[in-house]
Chains A and B, each alone.
Chain A
Amino acid sequence: MNIHEYQAKKLFEEYGIPCPKGAATSSSDEFESCIDTLGEGLVVVKSQIHAGGRGKGTFTDGFKGGVKLAKTKEEAIEYANKMLGNTLVTIQTGESGRKVQTVYFTEGADIKKEYYLAILLDRATSRPVIVASTEGGMDIETVAEETPDRIFKVFIDPAYGLADFQLRELVTKLGLTKLESKNAAKLIRNLYTMFWEKDADMIEINPLITTESEEVMALDAKVSFDSNALYRHPEIQDLRDLNEEDPKEIEASKFDLSYIALDGSIACLVNGAGLAMSTMDIIQHFGGSPANFLDVGGGASKGQVIAAFKIILGDPNVKGIFVNIFGGIMDCDVIANGIVDAVKEVGLELPLVVRLEGNNVVAGRKTLDSSGLTIVTGDSMADAAQKIANLVA
Chain B
Amino acid sequence: MSILITPETKIIIQGITGEFGARHARLSLDYGTQVAGGVTPGKGGQTFEHAGKSVPIYNSVKDAVEATGATVSVIFVPPPFAADAILECVDAEVDLAVAITEGIPVRDMVRVKRAMAGSKTRLVGPNCPGLVSPGEGEDSKGGCRIGIAPGYIHKKGHVGVVSRSGTLTYEAVYQLTVKDIGQSTCVGIGGDPVNGTSHLDVIKLFNEDPDTHGIILIGEIGGNAEVEAARWIKENCTKPVAGFIAGATAPPGRRMGHAGAIVGGAEDTAEAKIKVFKECGIEVAVTPSDMADALLRSAKAKGVTLS
Q: Which residues of A contact B (CB under 8 A)?
A: 92, 121, 123-124, 126-128, 141, 157-159, 196, 199, 201, 226, 228-229, 231-232, 258, 260, 262, 270-285, 290, 293, 295, 298, 326, 328-329, 357-359, 380-383, 385
Contacts and interface: CB of A to CB of B under 8 A. Distances in A.
Select the residue from B79, B107, B115 with max chain A CB neighbours within 10 A.
Answer: B107
A34 to B, nearest CB: 31
B184 interface: no
B4 interface: no
B289 A381 contact: yes
19 contacts: A123-B224, A123-B260, A124-B228, A141-B265, A199-B107, A226-B105, A226-B106, A228-B79, A229-B106, A231-B80, A274-B164, A274-B261, A276-B257, A277-B221, A278-B246, A278-B288, A281-B247, A358-B170, A358-B174
A275 B224 contact: no
Given A281-B248, A295-B257, A328-B153, A127 B168 contact: no
B244 interface: yes
Contacts of A262: 249, 251
Contacts of B105: 199, 226, 228-229, 232
Contact of B244 (A128, A278, A326): A278
A226 B107 contact: yes
A274 B194 contact: no
A199 B219 CA distance: 27
B222 to A, nearest CB: 8
Contacts of A326: 167, 170-171, 174
Given A274-B218, A328-B153, A329-B148, A121 B110 contact: yes
Contact of B287 (A260, A293, A358, A382): A382
Q: Which 3 residue pairs across A and B have the least CB separation, nearest first?
A: A274-B165, A273-B257, A272-B167
B152 interface: yes
Nearest to B258: A273
Nearest to B24: A329
Contacts of A281: 246-249, 270, 287-288
A272 B168 contact: yes
A298 B253 contact: no
A374 B261 CA distance: 35
A380 B174 CA distance: 11
A228 B246 contact: no
A285 B245 CA distance: 13
Contact of B194 (A126, A229, A273, A279): A126
Given A274-B166, A281-B270, 16 more contacts: A128-B110, A199-B105, A229-B108, A231-B79, A270-B167, A274-B258, A275-B168, A278-B246, A279-B288, A293-B256, A298-B148, A326-B174, A328-B148, A328-B166, A381-B171, A381-B289
A212 to B, nearest CB: 35
A121 B194 CA distance: 9
Contact of A358 (B115, B153, B168, B289): B153
Nearest to A358: B150
B237 interface: no
Contacts of A124: 223-224, 228
Interface of B: 27, 79-80, 103-111, 113-115, 148-150, 152-153, 163-171, 174, 191, 193-194, 218, 220-225, 228, 244, 246-251, 253-254, 256-261, 265-266, 270, 286-290
A273 B103 CA distance: 14
A276 B225 CA distance: 20
Contacts of B169: 274
A270 B109 CA distance: 28
Contacts of B108: 229
Select the residue from A199, A232, A277 with max chain B CB neighbours within 10 A.
Answer: A277
Contacts of B109: 126
A159 B107 contact: no
A284 B250 CA distance: 11
Given A276-B257, A329-B150, A229 B107 contact: yes
A123 B115 CA distance: 17
A304 to B, nearest CB: 14
A284 B290 contact: no
B90 to A, nearest CB: 14
Contacts of B168: 272, 274-275, 278
Contact of A284 (B104, B248, B253): B248
Contacts of A273: 165, 191, 256-258, 261
A202 to B, nearest CB: 10
Nearest to A279: B288
A186 B163 CA distance: 43
Nearest to B103: A228
A276 B287 CA distance: 13
Contacts of B194: 121, 123, 126
Nearest to B193: A123
Contacts of B221: 277
Contacts of B193: 121, 123
A204 to B, nearest CB: 12
Contacts of B286: 285
B220 A274 contact: yes
B145 to A, nearest CB: 11
A277 B107 contact: no
Contact of B114 (A158, A275, A381): A158
A296 to B, nearest CB: 10
Contact of B246 (A277, A285, A358): A277
Contacts of B148: 298, 328-329
A112 B105 CA distance: 39
Nearest to A381: B289
A126 B220 contact: no
A293 to B, nearest CB: 6
A126 B170 contact: no
